[in-house]
Amino acid sequence: MTVRITFHGAARCVTGSKYLLEADGATVLIDCGLFQGLKPLRLLNWEPTPFRAGSVDAVVLTHAHLDHVGYLPRIVKQGFNRSIYCTPATSQLAEIILLDSAKCQEYDAAFANKKGFSKHDLALPLYDGRDVERTVRLFRERPRGEWFAPAEPIWMRFADAGHLLGSNHIEVEIRNRPRPLRLVFSGDIGRYDGPLYHDPAPPPACDFMICESTYGDRDHPERSLLDALADVISRAVDRGGVMLMAAFAVGRSQQLMYLLQILKSENRIADLPVYIDSPMACNATRVYRDFSEDHDLAESDLDAAHPALGGRNVHLVRETAESKALNRLKGPAIIISSSGMMTGGRIVHHLRQRLPDPRNTVILGGYMAEGTRGRLLQNGAETLRMFGADVPVRAAIETVPGLSGHADRSGLLRWLGNLPQPPVRTFLTHGEPESSDALAEHLRNAWQWDVVCPELGQSFALEIP
Ligand SMILES: [Zn+2]
């Protein structure tokens, strides 16, 4: 009858989500994410998998972000060949994200071999495109709101987390006793009143809560995202050049598109041409359009000329030749491209082209990690090293704060505050130690909750008194 949970990722960090749930011989993995960020974390992806991949009965995904799905092809390579449950939108977005990840893995391995970086004779990718193909064949789609049993006696049900298209929290019942043992996995919790997504559905009553804590110690800026974006764009239009926005291809690019369409519909900015220059963002935009019933467009009355994810002045740029042709583009116009932190991808070519001209504007949004070009620009770098040359930074650098898909501290407390009674125990995951600890302290002191911030690899027996 013992139920056990083991935290194999997103423990004292924000990536590598992997929670192993065991009950009566059934083993279900909740999320299977890649570790990302600084090197010691990335190296964890290369450690032996901490559980036997072939002994897992099923994987269930909260959403399609790489830090929640990016390790799947690795366990498939190691012998996992059972079902992977997720919502229909998650299955489509995860395929796009995993194919891109395989390409990056293969590119890095080829680069290491060329430069002779590898300690081994031949650097190998963590997985390749064929592993991804085998992985996506295991996807089994389940709609929100319906119970399913990934492995008896473990039953689960998805509910909207409002964080990304198709994202969920997962309600779990372990039905091997007169009253089921109830767990909730929060996944990543979205923002209340965030653009494009519905508010996160309230969590149901549970005995054990596994909750993210990315922003457990801070709130997002009060100022409206639309006002901030409108100001930045009007200054950029005055400069007369091209606006360059770096954005993650899946999720952020579509949110920006939607925000721009609101500003145009409300005549707060001119009807500028917008170019989405990323094949991955083009593919993701198709998925977003296909699942339009999943969107929350309540913030604004979009006019007919400016639908949420399209319209006559929104151009999806897929081919390389079209992307190169954007070099001749005169402003004012907006180019949205990736990667989000400017570490690679088409955005780098645009930076080389646009940075030297003071009429242009580079718009930074969201978090820029240490060591990325995005962070260097944020810190006021005068030149950027690209393609073996130092490119002068004469373009204006602007920041739109508050572009985050995560609930902030107040949002997390609002979400948890929906619970009819405190869980027996709450595990805080998916946060840097200072964020998780701050939220834990608050829940213990102000709410008298039993809270644990598990360490990587830590395991707990779950029993109710
Ligand atoms: Zn996420």
Rounded distance from Cα 333 to ligand 1 centre (Å): 30
* The pLDDT of residue 114: 80
Give 151's strand partners.
154
Residue 448 has pLDDT above 80, yes or no: yes
Name the pLDDT band for 118 (thresholds 50, 70, 90).
low
* The pLDDT of residue 222: 83
Average the pLDDT over 26-51 and give the result: 94
pLDDT tens string 382-412: 999 988 889 999 999 999 887 888 999 999 9
Rounded distance from Cα 62 to ligand 1 centre (Å): 9
Rounded distance from Cα 94 to ligand 1 centre (Å): 12
Per-residue tokens: 59:
């994987």
Average the pLDDT over 244-270 and give the result: 93
Chain center to CA of 17: 12
Residue 201 has pLDDT above 90, yes or no: yes
Rounded distance from Cα 428 to ligand 1 centre (Å): 15
* The pLDDT of residue 223: 84
Neighbours of 316 (CB within 10 A): 19
**What's the chain's length in residues?**
465
Rounded distance from Cα 190 to ligand 1 centre (Å): 9
Average the pLDDT over 232-244 and give the result: 96
pLDDT tens string 162-190: 999 999 999 999 999 999 999 999 999 99
For 122, counting Cβ atoms within 10 Å of its Cβ (0-12 exposed, 13-18 middle, 19+ buried), the class is exposed
- Which DSSP string do the residues of 55-98 spell out, in sequence order? G--EEE-S---HHHHTTHHHHHHTT--SEEEE-HHHHHHHHHHH
* The pLDDT of residue 367: 73
* The pLDDT of residue 365: 83
> How big is the chain by its Cα radius of gyration, in Å?
22
Rounded distance from Cα 198 to ligand 1 centre (Å): 15
Rounded distance from Cα 34 to ligand 1 centre (Å): 12
Rounded distance from Cα 388 to ligand 1 centre (Å): 34
* The pLDDT of residue 119: 60
Q: Which residues contact 219 (CB under 8 A, 6 or more apart)?
A: 408, 409, 410
Residue 109 has pLDDT above 90, yes or no: no
Rounded distance from Cα 75 to ligand 1 centre (Å): 20
Rounded distance from Cα 358 to ligand 1 centre (Å): 35
Residue 279 has pLDDT above 80, yes or no: yes
Rounded distance from Cα 255 to ligand 1 centre (Å): 14
- Which DSSP string do the residues of 171-196 spell out, in sequence order? EEEE-SSSS-EEEEE--S---TT-TB
Residue 369 has pLDDT above 90, yes or no: no
Beta-sheet pairing, 26-30 with 19-23? antiparallel
Rounded distance from Cα 65 to ligand 1 centre (Å): 5
Rounded distance from Cα 160 to ligand 1 centre (Å): 13
Give 140's strand partners.
85
Name the pLDDT band for 368 (thresholds 50, 70, 90).
confident
Closest CA to 255 of 212, 283, 293, 284: 284
Average the pLDDT over 100-118 and give the result: 82
Q: At what angle do helices 129-136 and 88-115 cross, to 10 degrees?
A: 160
Rounded distance from Cα 387 to ligand 1 centre (Å): 31
Under DSSP, is residue 266 helix (H, G, I), strand (E, B) or coil?
A: coil
Rounded distance from Cα 240 to ligand 1 centre (Å): 36
Rounded distance from Cα 164 to ligand 1 centre (Å): 7
Name the pLDDT band for 366 (thresholds 50, 70, 90).
confident
Rounded distance from Cα 199 to ligand 1 centre (Å): 15
- Can you tell me which residue has the tokens 């940075």? 355
- Which DSSP string do the residues of 333-390 spell out, in sequence order? EEEEES-TTSSSSHHHHHHHHHTT-TT-EEEEES---TTSHHHHHHTT-SEEEETTEE
On the CB side of 273, CA atoms within 13 Å amount to 13
Per-residue tokens: 137:
């064949």
* The pLDDT of residue 115: 73
Rounded distance from Cα 405 to ligand 1 centre (Å): 7
Q: How distant, in Å, are the alpha carbons of 114, 407, 448, 458, 462 from that of 444?
A: 53, 20, 4, 21, 19
Rounded distance from Cα 10 to ligand 1 centre (Å): 12
Closest CA to 270 of 298, 241, 301, 234: 234
Rounded distance from Cα 101 to ligand 1 centre (Å): 15
* The pLDDT of residue 451: 98
Query: Distance between CA atoms of 352 and 327, rounded to whole angstroms?
Result: 10
Give every strand in the sheet of 361-365, ordered side by side: 314-317, 274-277, 333-337, 242-246, 361-365, 396-400
Rounded distance from Cα 290 to ligand 1 centre (Å): 20
- What is the overall mean pLDDT for the chain? 94
Rounded distance from Cα 465 to ligand 1 centre (Å): 33
Query: Distance between CA atoms of 238 and 10, rounded to whole angstroms?
Result: 44
Name the pLDDT band for 297 (thresholds 50, 70, 90).
confident
* The pLDDT of residue 299: 63
Looking at the chain, the whole-number percentage of residues with pLDDT higher than 70 is 98
Rounded distance from Cα 188 to ligand 1 centre (Å): 5
Rounded distance from Cα 369 to ligand 1 centre (Å): 16
Query: Distance between CA atoms of 44 and 39, rounded to whole angstroms?
Result: 9
Rounded distance from Cα 69 to ligand 1 centre (Å): 10
Residues, beta carbon < 5 Å, ion ligand 1? 65, 188
Rounded distance from Cα 344 to ligand 1 centre (Å): 21
Backbone angles phi, psi at 38, to 5 degrees: -70, 155
* The pLDDT of residue 416: 98
Residue 101 has pLDDT above 70, yes or no: yes
Q: Please tell me the least confidently modeled range out of 46-60, 144-158, 295-309.
A: 295-309
Average the pLDDT over 35-41 and give the result: 87
pLDDT tens string 318-357: 999 999 999 999 989 999 998 888 988 899 999 999 999 9
- Can you tell me which residue has the tokens 């091209």? 242
Rounded distance from Cα 389 to ligand 1 centre (Å): 35
Name the pLDDT band for 301 (thresholds 50, 70, 90).
confident
Query: Distance between CA atoms of 211 and 429, rounded to whole angstroms?
Result: 6
